[in-house]
Structure 1
């Protein structure tokens, strides 16, 4: 039997991080691009809020077990099943735009909530466990930049298609078709991802020697995870990390016309890409400081940005209400990017998502600094997305009841501020390295063990089979 040897570059963590980035580029990247157009491009904010509320509710429930599912069936199948819901949801938005089928959008949101939990658990495990400890901030930066490039390109596509119509209220059919083509490419790319036991780091160590976990081990490990005080302390950070999307999307849908919503989406994606690269390469993985100190610096930078950026957003928010937005829509007086009143609004969306990328980076980095085990990190990622989605469900439910914009703004802002002191307590427990406590297997050592095991197995068989000893040597 011939064993197929994969190219060494293909089994590196960086290749796998890039591949999962491409998968997310084409699936949640396109979903985010549509969401950034405001109300999923439909101009029906209530329907979008209900759909997203159901989506995040199912996401929260599935997220509690999605990490264990990833550990049982492996990241490749988990990613594949996880991508399918995105195609269904964008197709449902397109169907609503052409046929007015509201129920299909809500149903697709529920299905997407289940599948998205699978995708993000697999993604989190790969991104946090495959690289070396010194590269985990950069790993997030590279993944997030590729993922958000999907949002960027999707928004540019929408902008290019819709900008010709000037005052377009809803996204055109051709926009949805373009998105779906990219989504199917993302689904196909999920089959290229390798399981953790086949990935080799640059120092020669294997990510793990096991291909999968067991149901009993997952039950025990999840129970222990829920008792870990560090995870409890991080729950407010997890909860707040997507809470503000409902507010930002509602304002984008309520005040801006179609082309300007697409422009805001483009600027948001650009802010996410730049923010992730800056925080990942220059702060979280800076070379001159110890690991815990880098965590403190990142927390200080993100806290400062959150206060300043959301403070600027508040100064704009107090100048309008939901009633003003409804009146603007009724009068066909939505803000266009060519007008003087748009000045500064695009920059605010850029900085909102710049800080969002930094916030997400810190959350992932803290989790990845606690352990290097891919199975544990898959459970971390599942819990993170479950609590994050519970926050998202709550925020979209809050928006669906026409809560004043100001209340949504203050709720989002205060939740982030509350999460920072608790994150500080967890950062205090981070060690310079986990390699000494965790069993690390190097490729050469593993080969020696495998060879010894194979030799022992052959000797036992030869003793067990008398004919083997008496038979003459066969030709190759």
Structure 2
């Protein structure tokens, strides 16, 4: 064996021994999980308070409508932008917008002017579209094909720990303010500190070409892109039958947030209890993602069978949870508001709505992990999956924008619940069809050696968005 070949062999052996290398898929998925822990995780905790922590939900609803409107556009475009800019530039630009959004509610706490919050929401929509397209590409393309469910559950657990910690911030800082109607300044400042840390942490995310799996192969074949290519490929998504089948699940997957946050947590509980509820809501997400991740990776020998079983499990559990939600919703309405529940003073009346809200968090994680697993099973390369993930987040955000305005216009709470239940229910058979037609079983180890390290030619000087080296 030549000296060069022997050196390469040794390097291959070293690579295979540790999953905790900085350039391993596991470490990189954990790092993007931490970025999302600090930014969207804290945003989720803020939104989960109901009305952004304010007694009047109008400002938060309008800000979220602006947010999800721009998110719709940049979610769809985000995959193309990620393919051109790479992860670090995309992520730090995106994360910075979360800090601005939390700051706008700090301003609103003093001046009660909606304009800043609405503008910050629109800017955050741009950033969120970029962040989630990048996150989707990393989470679905970096892991080994037969462990995508596991890696998705690892990401989802780390990300939602942000919601748990974020829920503790308003709970602790407002614990003695039992009669308060909006959170204090320290709550928003705490969120801003975490979000700023997430923006800085995004700089350590590696591009796909520098991430190496345990067998020594690169996680994806890199193809540098340009603006015209990405515009063409993004437009093709709207006629792609796979994306059309995933459309209802995408629309449904954030549509229920306005109902759950404002009309379950915000409507039924007082301020400090809403913070406590969020700790358990996002904690339930961690449990849900781990459970469904196990089913999608380990329950049966073949990937397609695991997909079918996973979708059926989510469908059955989802139906049971929404049925419980219906039983709870029949007890109150806009015209017959309930007495605010407190975790210390409401006794047994607190238990039922609390368990329901916990189960909503469980279902959210299982539903979204299911969709991400299906997307990840459709391809292995980062370039394609970034576009698929961007499409998913764009459609998801369009649904959310509509939902926040539905709530602003005080549509019947019972009608909101029925629509949410119907949307999720329609999604399941379409995902089963997609798995049946488009998801292939994994190749044997001998066949799965296609992911080779590639030598990248320098882009022509005139190519728009071309890159000549790995970043």
Give the TM-score of the pair, scaled to structure 2: 0.89
Which residue of structure 1 lines up, in the alignment, with residue 277 of structure 2? Answer: 264
Which residue of structure 2 lines up, in the alignment, with residue 31 of structure 1? Answer: 43
Shift of 1:345: 1.4
Report if the CA contact (8 A) 1:272-1:353 is conserved: yes
2:455 paired with 1:442:
no
2:440 paired with 1:431:
yes
Report if the CA contact (8 A) 1:267-1:347 is conserved: no
Q: What are the residue-to-residue correspondences of 1:300-379 with 2, within 5 Å?
A: 300-325=312-337, 333-338=339-344, 339-340=346-347, 341-379=349-387
SS where residue 58 of structure 1 aligns? helix
Classify 1:438/1:107 alpha carbon distance in 2 versus 1 (closer, same or farther; 3 Å).
farther
Report if the CA contact (8 A) 2:67-2:124 is conserved: yes
Query: How far apart, CA to CA, are the structure 2 residues paired with 1:121 and 1:405?
Result: 32
Which residue of structure 2 lines up, in the alignment, with residue 40 of structure 1? Answer: 52
Which of 418, 430, 445 is 1:410 aligned to?
Answer: 418
Shift of 1:432: 0.8
2:230 paired with 1:218:
yes
Shift of 1:126: 0.2
Query: How far apart, CA to CA, are the structure 2 residues paired with 1:378 and 1:438?
Result: 22
Note the residue ranges of structure 2 that are not aligned, 5 or more in a row: 1-10, 16-20, 458-471
Report if the CA contact (8 A) 1:125-1:378 is conserved: yes
2:177 paired with 1:142:
no
Q: What are the residue-to-residue correspondences of 1:19-418 with 2, within 5 Å?
A: 19-210=31-222, 212-251=224-263, 252-280=265-293, 282-286=294-298, 288-325=300-337, 333-338=339-344, 339-340=346-347, 341-418=349-426
Report if the CA contact (8 A) 1:269-1:353 is conserved: yes
Report if the CA contact (8 A) 2:210-2:218 is conserved: yes
Which residue of structure 1 lines up, in the alignment, with residue 6 of structure 2? Answer: none
Deviations 1:254-296 (A, max 9, x none): 221111111111110111011011111x201116431000001
Report if the CA contact (8 A) 2:302-2:442 is conserved: no
Report if the CA contact (8 A) 1:208-1:373 is conserved: yes
Note the residue ranges of structure 1 that are not aligned, 5 or more in a row: 454-476
Shift of 1:232: 0.5
Report if the CA contact (8 A) 1:167-1:259 is conserved: no
Query: How far apart, CA to CA, are the structure 2 residues paired with 1:141 and 1:295?
Result: 15
Shift of 1:101: 2.3
Shift of 1:212: 3.0
Shift of 1:211: 6.4
Q: Which moved more, 1:383-392 or 1:91-100?
A: 91-100
Report if the CA contact (8 A) 2:101-2:120 is conserved: yes
Larger Rg: 1
Shift of 1:208: 3.0
RMSD (Å), alpha carbons: 1.9
Shift of 1:438: 9.0
Which residue of structure 2 lines up, in the alignment, with residue 10 of structure 1? Answer: 22
Q: Which moved more, 1:392-401 or 1:245-254?
A: 245-254
Shift of 1:200: 0.6
Which residue of structure 2 lines up, in the alignment, with residue 468 of structure 1? Answer: none
SS where residue 450 of structure 2 aligns? coil
SS where residue 371 of structure 1 aligns? coil
Shift of 1:167: 2.4
Query: How far apart, CA to CA, are the structure 2 residues paired with 1:414 and 1:209?
Result: 40
Query: How far apart, CA to CA, are the structure 2 residues paired with 1:137 and 1:29?
Result: 20
Query: How far apart, CA to CA, are the structure 1 residues paired with 2:327 and 2:124?
Result: 36
Q: What are the residue-to-residue correspondences of 1:447-462 with 2, within 5 Å?
A: none
Shift of 1:213: 1.5
Q: Which moved more, 1:306-315 or 1:171-180?
A: 171-180
Shift of 1:110: 0.5
Report if the CA contact (8 A) 1:371-1:434 is conserved: no
Which residue of structure 2 lines up, in the alignment, with residue 462 of structure 1? Answer: none
